[in-house]
Structures are given as structure tokens and as C-alpha cells.
Structure 1
Amino acid sequence: MMRFLTAASFDDPVDDRIYNRVATRLLPFLMLLYIVSFLDKINVGFAKAGMSAELGLSNTAFGIGAGIFFIGYCICEIPSNLALQRFGARVWIARIMIVWGAISVAMMFVTTEREFFIARFVLGVAEAGFYPGVVFYLTFWFPARLRSQVCALFFLGISLSGVVGGPLSGGILTIFEGVHGLHGWRWLFLLEGLPAVLLGVVTLFWLDDGPAKAKWLPAADRERIAATLEQENASRAGESQHRFADAFRNRNVWLMTAVNFALLGNTYGVSFWLPQIARGLGVRNPMANGLVTMLPFVVASIAMLVISRSSDRHGERRFHLIASSFASAAGLALAAVSAGMPVLSLTGLALALSGALGGLAVLWAIPGTLLSGTAAGAAIALMATVGNLSGYASPVLIGWISQRTGHVEDGLLALAAITCALSVCAWGLARVMVVASPDSEPALLSSRP
């Protein structure tokens, strides 16, 4: 059995054994799903050069096409998350993956700007609910005091998609260019879309809807997990809110949504435009470009794990979230002002991604401690819905600014300013942070809406 959760997180060796066993079963597979998911979102950045040349796309048109994915995604986010609760995680996550994989493959047949926009929008509709659905699903298994680490391990899929996706996408573009008369970008969508379909089928056999149905766990372990979560819910029964509407009336949910908007905007903005930024630094060979774009994601992977484990170990969310958010903004600013200096520019992008992903891991550990039941699912979906609008706004903003100024770096400065402004909302969460230690149950200082 692998150790995914630190020994310092437990004062009982039985819990250590149980939760690391659950983590070993679930997290690598969910991480793999997220790698494929995120890669299918951002591979359009690697396809940009070939697509733009063949389809005649401007920077603004590309930014709209890259971002319009999130319009479809956000429209269907909350309904999809509620459907997951109704039909079960196993079936619903499998459905999402199979459909989005098929549509991602269909991207290879795009021939016009309009078809590009339509395909990206429909892809967003198909994938809606995956990311918040998995975050909500993890609350069925892990208590609040472990969720920052758990979320970080799941979000590691974002970083690893950059680590794996850069060289993989660059290799496909290079090796398959002209094969059977097709440009490399068309092969890119085909070869990176098929794994989602295959993994969707595997999901039906690998995931369980919750601990009660996990036959791979001994009955005593299933009962212990259920008892822990029930005790946790009971301990905050007077503070927690349960109904669907409670999520929309809770001030804290909207504050978290604003911070999520900023951090996701940085993540997607950098991810979509990183290949173009690398090209601007003089790295034009597709394979070399992929290797260079991998570096910031490697650093971000390590930083995210360090930040999340520190947050869980100290039972502290506020400072970790604020520090990560402003570090991300500082990284964007450094990357912007160091144009022409590759080492400093990549260092800035690595800092931006590290802060964004580390902050997201801490942030997503919070909702399940404020709300429960349908309200928790709705809050998570709401945060993801509004937050993911930044996935539309950030690439469009960068594309629009870069087309008018001739410098992608000016778009990064705009993202840095937005991040600083919205990260101030994290200060308002000071009274709802989870206070936990390895030998104590989580406690809420306040959860008033």
C-alpha cells in the first residue's frame, strides 16, 4: 500500500491505515482522469499554431474559441453535479468521460472558425460536472482535516497534465504531421481524446458510489469511515446548512467563489498561452516547446503538495490561501516584466502556477466544512461554475490584449492585477477557517452566512 497522506495527519494508526488504503485505491485513478480531462481542455494551446494557419484564426478568435468551452461548462455545471448525486458517481463520471472523449476526438474534423467555436462549446457541455463532482465525491470518503492533502493530490492532475502533456503534444505534432494527409493538430485531438473514452468504461468497474458499496474495504473499515463522517456532521449540525438554497445565501460561498475565479483564471490563462509564451522566448520546435512548457508544471506539482500538507498539518487555511494567491499574482507580474529573459520569465510562470494550484488545494478543502448534503454539492458546483467563467475570461483577455499591444505579457499583467483584487476576498474567510490538528476533530470558528 502506498502512502499518500502524511503520518503526521493521524494520531491513530488504524485511521492511518484505512485512509491511506482508500487514497491508494481512489486518488491515482482520479488523478489520471483529471490529467486526461485537463489535457483535453488545454491541448488546443498546442494546436494553435497549426489551427490558426490552416483555419485563419486571429489571436482574438483563438482566445474566444479556447474560452467558450467554459460557457457550455458553466451552464451545465450545477445540473450535472446534482445529477451525480442522483445517479451515483460511478455512472455519472463514466458518462461524462465517454461523451467528452468522443467530442474531443471530433475536434479533428473542424474546418472553420465557426465549427471551432461550436465544438469547444459542446465539449464544455459534455465535461460539465467532472471537476466539482469529483471534489464532492471525495467528501464521501475523507474527513475535513484531510481534504487539503486529498484535493492537492487530485489537483496534481493539472500539474501532471502539463508535465506529460507538453512533451506528448509536441511529440504528436512533430511525428504525425502529414501522416495520411492530415496536419499534426488533427492527430493531436484524436490521440488525446480516445483515452477519455476508454477510461470512462474503466470507471464503471473501478469506482464505487461511496464507502458503503466498497467491497474492497473490510466491513469494519467501512463502518469506521461512516462513523467518522457522521460524527463530523453532527459536531457542526448547529452551524452547517443543508438545503440547496443555503449555498446561494451563504456569504462565505461567494467569497470563496471570487478567490476561485482568480486562481483558476491564472491556471487556465497560463496553461492556454504557455506554448505561445515559450514560442515568444524563441522555442519554436514543437518538441522543444513541449519540454519547456513542462518545467513550470513540475515546480507547481511539488509546491502544491508542500502547501497542502502544511495547511493540514497546522490546521490553518487563511494564511496559506492568502499567501498562495498573492504569490501567484507576483509570479504573473514577474513573467510579464521579464520578457526576453527566458529564465526569469519561466520562473515567474512557475511561481504563478505554484501559487494558483497550492491556493486551490487549500480553498477546496473548505466548502465541505461549512455546508453538508445538497447544499454542499450546490456550493461546490456554484464555486466551480462561476470560477470556471475565468476559464473563458482569462484566455480571451490575454488574446484581446496581446492582439492590440503585440505582447502576451501585457495580458499576464492584467491577470496579476485581477488576482490581487479578488484575493482580498480571502480575508473575509478568516472566521470560517477549519482549525484542526492530527489529534483533534475539526472545529468551525464561525459559519454564519
Structure 2
Amino acid sequence: MNSPISAAASPLAEQAYRKITRRLIPFLFLCYVFAFLDRVNVGIAQLDMKHDIGFSDFTYSIGAGIFFLGYVLMEVPSNLLLTRIGVKRTFSRIMVLWGILAAATAFVTLPSHFYTVRFLLGLAEAGLYPGIIFYLTRWYPVERRAKAIAIFTCATGIAGLLGGPMSGWLMTHMEGIRAMHGWQWMFIVQGLPASFLGIAAFFFLDDGPEKAKWLSDAEKAQILADLKHSSGVSGTHAEHTFMNALRDPRVYVMGFVWFAQIAGVFAIGFWLPTLIKSTGLTSPLEIGIYSAIPYFVSWIALIGMNWNSDRTMERRWHCGITMIIGALGLFAAGLIHGSLAWSLVALSIATAGILAPNPLIWAISTDYIRGSGAAGGVAVVNCIGLLGGFVSPMIIGSIKTATNSMAGGLGAISLLMLIGALAAIVLAPKTTGARSLEELAADRLDDSAAANVML
């Protein structure tokens, strides 16, 4: 493992990064809560939706997964456009459109309607997650990045923690209001806030530290110096143009690791309510409340795992071991029948092991993919990975339709995650954030000089 960074950061740096975290992370966090909620709330909606409009498990699986085909098609163009027109315009466009389309899911009546809306939703939302990851690289140096990404990625856990009970409540208590089903109200209530957040993003976000009026000149100089020292071209991680990224095998390694991880994420995201229902529960509200427990456990695991990774500056083993734990929990969840308590234990282990490595994968990727092609390279990794969101529900749905059991499908996804974990441990790039004490001391002298010039 790499040596931990032991040199203390300057008070100016700590002050600057506290400002950045307080300003950016809560807003980005809220945006991604609604993004993840709008991806996975269909998992709770389908408990009643399939009966109300006559969808089969396989129809639901296609609709759930086709979102990712649209996402992948627009992923790279969206991220390349981000570097041209800026963060504010890109995020506003994404969120306004996705909010409208997410709400429109309430009005589907045929499988073709469902497929079309989900596909268009994927097109609209494409670029948000990698765009935010790339955006954070403009504010945080590599040794602070996993923690920042981890705090932001907690949105997935919070979306599950709050979204399950909220979705269940809406489906139970809004049923029949204005002649609409509860699941229709759920899509509207959880979809439209994204459009309002998109409008707010245009006025609230800055494209980089140099444009942030809420930072002092000395703080801007400190941040820009930190980014230059930690994220510049190094002897081991060369600059990537977009074409270099397309030719680099390790970009595809990280794409595969993300593919395996995303297959697990949406095995949980789309099928967790069904697994809990199989223990004998029938009320959407009860199912939604119990669905929150695995996400709460994952939230704790995500913060702890990524804090330790930043402390030691080791990524690959943290990522791989956690993925293995998630795979074992997912496999066990498919074998447990009739026991709510044991199902929740297995699902909590699975969800924690599946969600906790997400920031680590992006900390490795953004440390490795540097230079002018970083946005496009990150989008390539995410494009490959998000195909897992299409493959996962298709595998599970088709096997469940054929066998009337979740065990085979969850076993297949568990095996895929194990292979991804081994790829992360053996083939992923090493993190270069840990530097010698002499380099850190020289950096602090350079940063102080830069800050004094700005003053």
C-alpha cells in the first residue's frame, strides 16, 4: 500500500476547502439525490404499476434498462459539450429536461410509452454524474478528492434512505386523488423538483475557482497551486488528450470495473423492493420503509471506507475488497426466502459493499485521466460502465421470468462483480497522490509565495 500523507495542510488551504465544501457539496448532493431517485423509484412504482397497466417482469426490465442506452448515447457528447459551454449551462439543461421527462413517466399506458420515456430520460440525464465528477476535479486536488466524491456520492444512500419511505407513502396515500394512481403522483412529485434545481444551478454554480467571487484572491491562488501540484502531468500518469484516452487500455479497465459495479448498483436499485416484498410484505409504505435500512448501512460504510482510503492514499485494495463483500451479500440475498430479518442483513451487506466503492473508482479514474481530454476520458469510463445498468435488469428480469426466482440472476451479477473486483486490484492504475515530505514542504513554500503575490 502507498504511504499515507502525513504533512499537515496550511490553515489557508483548510479554510479554502471548507468554503468550497460548504458551497458546492450540499447543492450537488441535492441534485444527485433527485437524479438517483428518478432512476430507481421505478423499482417501487412497479410493485403496483405492473398490475395497473399490465406490465410483465420482462417488460419492466426492458424499461428500467433502456434508460441506460439513451444515457450512453449522449454521455460523451454531453461531457465534451461541458468543456465548451461550461458547467452552469450544461447542468441546467440536463436537470430541466430530466425533471420534465421523469414526471412524464406518470402518464405511460403502454410498454412502448414506457420504453420511450425511459430512453428519453436517459438522453436527458446523460453527463450529469461524470460531469459532476469532472467538476469536482476543478476544485479538489487528488489527495482530497475521494472524500469529496464520497460525501457527494452519499446522495445515493440518502436517496434510498428517504426515497423508499417517501415513495411508499405517496403510493399509499395519494392513490385515487384526481383519479390518478399513487405511483403516478410519485413520479410527478419526485420528478419536477429537478427542473427547479436546474434553473437554480445556472445562478448558483461557478465554472471554476478563478470565477468564484466568494473566494478571496489568496484562497484562489492556494487552490490553483494545489491543483497544479497534485493533478498535473506526472512521470507515471501522462497527459491524456481525448484520442489518447480512447487508446489507453487502462481507461477500458476502469470502464469494466465501473460496468461491474453499476450492474450491482442497479441490481439493488431496481430489485430491492421486490426482494423485500418476497418476504411476505404487501404494503408499499412498509416496503419503502424497510428499503431504507440497507441504504442507511451503506451510507456509514461509504464514509468510513473512503475516509480510510484518503488517509492511506490507497485505492485499489479498498475498492476490490469492498466489491467482493458486496457480491457475497448480493448472492446471499438471492438464497434467503421468507425471513425479513435475514434478508435485511444480506441486503444491507450487499448495498454497503456495492455503493461504498463508487467514489474510489472515480478517485482512481480522475487521478489517472488527466489533461485536456479528462472530461471525454471520464465520459468514456462512464459510458462503458453504465451499460451495466442496461445489462443488469435484463439478466435478472429474464432469469426471473424463466425460473420465477431471483437467485440465478443475482448470482450472475455477483460473479460479474467478483471479476470486476479482481480487475480493480490487479489492473487498475495506482494512485499517485502520495508525495514525499520534501515535495510537500516545497509545495507549501510555493503556495505561500503565490498567495503573497495575490495579496
TM > 0.5:
yes
Partner deviation per Cα, 1:240-280 (whole Å, 9 max, x = no partner): 22311111111211111111111111111111111111111
Partner deviation per Cα, 1:335-372 (whole Å, 9 max, x = no partner): 12222222222222111221122211111101222222
C-alpha contact (below 8 Å) 1:93/1:200 kept by paired residues = yes
1:446 counterpart residue number = none
1:74 counterpart residue number = 72
1:18 counterpart residue number = 16
CA distance in 1, matches of 2:8, 2:21: 14
1:431–1:339 distance in 2 versus 1, CA, 3 Å: same
C-alpha contact (below 8 Å) 2:294/2:347 kept by paired residues = yes
Secondary structure at 1:22's aligned position in 2?
helix
Superposed, 1:184-199 pairs within 5 Å as 184-199=182-197
2:223 counterpart residue number = 225
1:180–1:233 distance in 2 versus 1, CA, 3 Å: closer
Report the aligned-residue RMSD.
1.8
Letter in 1 for 2:110: T
C-alpha contact (below 8 Å) 2:142/2:231 kept by paired residues = no
Counterpart selection for 1:271 from 258, 269, 272: 269
1:145 counterpart residue number = 143
1:339 counterpart residue number = 337
1:173 counterpart residue number = 171
Letter in 2 for 1:116: F
TM-score scaled by length of structure 2: 0.92
C-alpha contact (below 8 Å) 1:366/1:434 kept by paired residues = no
C-alpha contact (below 8 Å) 1:9/1:438 kept by paired residues = no
Partner deviation per Cα, 1:203-254 (whole Å, 9 max, x = no partner): 1111101101110111110111111112234461774223111111112111
Indicate the percent of aligned positions where both proteins have the same amino acid: 37
C-alpha contact (below 8 Å) 1:262/1:418 kept by paired residues = yes
Tell me the CA shift for residue 14 of structure 1: 2.2
CA distance in 1, matches of 2:241, 2:228: 17
Secondary structure at 1:365's aligned position in 2?
helix
Q: Are 1:314 and 2:335 matched, yes or no?
A: no
Secondary structure at 1:395's aligned position in 2?
helix
1:422 counterpart residue number = 420
Superposed, 1:280-429 pairs within 5 Å as 280-429=278-427
CA distance in 2, matches of 1:268, 1:9: 39
Superposed, 1:429-448 pairs within 5 Å as 429=427, 432-436=430-434
C-alpha contact (below 8 Å) 2:143/2:230 kept by paired residues = no
C-alpha contact (below 8 Å) 1:278/1:284 kept by paired residues = no
Unaligned ranges ≥5, structure 1: 1-6, 443-449
1:72–1:235 distance in 2 versus 1, CA, 3 Å: closer
CA distance in 1, matches of 2:6, 2:113: 52
CA distance in 2, matches of 1:381, 1:413: 29
CA distance in 2, matches of 1:413, 1:60: 18
| Paired positions, count | 436
1:95 counterpart residue number = 93
C-alpha contact (below 8 Å) 2:67/2:119 kept by paired residues = yes
Secondary structure at 1:76's aligned position in 2?
helix
CA distance in 1, matches of 2:437, 2:155: 30
Counterpart selection for 2:251 from 253, 277, 298: 253
Tell me the CA shift for residue 50 of structure 1: 2.1
Letter in 2 for 1:124: G
1:447 counterpart residue number = none
CA distance in 1, matches of 2:329, 2:387: 22
Unaligned ranges ≥5, structure 2: 441-455
1:85 counterpart residue number = 83
Tell me the CA shift for residue 49 of structure 1: 2.3
Tell me the CA shift for residue 410 of structure 1: 2.6
Secondary structure at 1:92's aligned position in 2?
helix
Secondary structure at 1:77's aligned position in 2?
helix
CA distance in 2, matches of 1:239, 1:168: 45
TM-score scaled by length of structure 1: 0.93
Tell me the CA shift for residue 13 of structure 1: 2.5
CA distance in 2, matches of 1:116, 1:82: 29
C-alpha contact (below 8 Å) 1:8/1:438 kept by paired residues = no
C-alpha contact (below 8 Å) 2:88/2:201 kept by paired residues = yes
272-281 vs 430-439, which moves further: 430-439
Partner deviation per Cα, 1:172-200 (whole Å, 9 max, x = no partner): 10111000111111111111111101111
CA distance in 2, matches of 1:431, 1:81: 23
2:449 counterpart residue number = none
CA distance in 2, matches of 1:429, 1:103: 39
CA distance in 1, matches of 2:439, 2:428: 19
Counterpart selection for 2:30 from 29, 32, 54: 32
Letter in 1 for 2:400: S
